[in-house]
Amino acid sequence: MSLSSQVRSRGFTLIEVLVALVVMAIMSIMAWRGLDALMKSREVAQTHIDQSARLQTVIAQWEQDLRSVQDPGRADALSFDGASLRLIRQHAQGLQVVSWSVRSGALYRWESKPAQTAAALDDSVQRATQLLAQDSGQLRALEGISGWQLYCYRGNSWSNCLSTGNVQTAAPPASAASGVPPPSTQQRQALPSGVRMVMQFAPSSGFNGALTRQIELVTTP
């Protein structure tokens, strides 16, 4: 047999096979890591898109509530105690009480059934004032909130909505539909002409810094 025939018939040695397998294994690991990183990047991007869409929906609802504020003449149309904002808004079926609050790292929204009588409205306001954390009517609107501040525009300047001022005295008329006599003359906070919200995000929320939204209030007494 000639030398050239021996060379052509010679196969791979065990070492060559092992080297080839090691190279293929390394390439497979690198390809898997690249694919895994790509999948994780897509998941992070999708999560961020979902969070942004959720935030936009919540802010749209917030703005709609404030733009629908209605002064009923019986109770404060808008009040803030540092943790919860309570407002009375116009609804197609009457007046509705809405409460926004921040606690345990989340933003919650609660709304009452539309009230068509003075008694029903007073009951909704009382329920919103005594709203408990376990109330099943509350919606966990947004996660990752570390705190918020609300500012009201009264006169010619912004001030914390917790500040008192512009108190007005009013004795609202009785409701003909309910037959309930009007409450005694009471002190009420005058409705501000604007509300500014500054909401802080927690580091784990996926958002940075704070969000500021400013709404002009246009109401019909």
| Domain ranges, ordered by start, for the chain | 47-216
Global confidence as pTM: 0.70
pLDDT per position as a tens digit, 112-136: 999 999 999 999 888 888 876 556 6
CA triple 159-160-165, angle to 5 deg: 70
Q: Are 137 and 113 in contact (CB under 8 A)?
A: no
pLDDT per position as a tens digit, 202-217: 988 888 889 999 999 8
Query: Residues of the chain with pLDDT > 90: what percent?
Result: 37
Element spanning 120, H or E: helix 118-129
Higher pLDDT, 52 or 16: 52
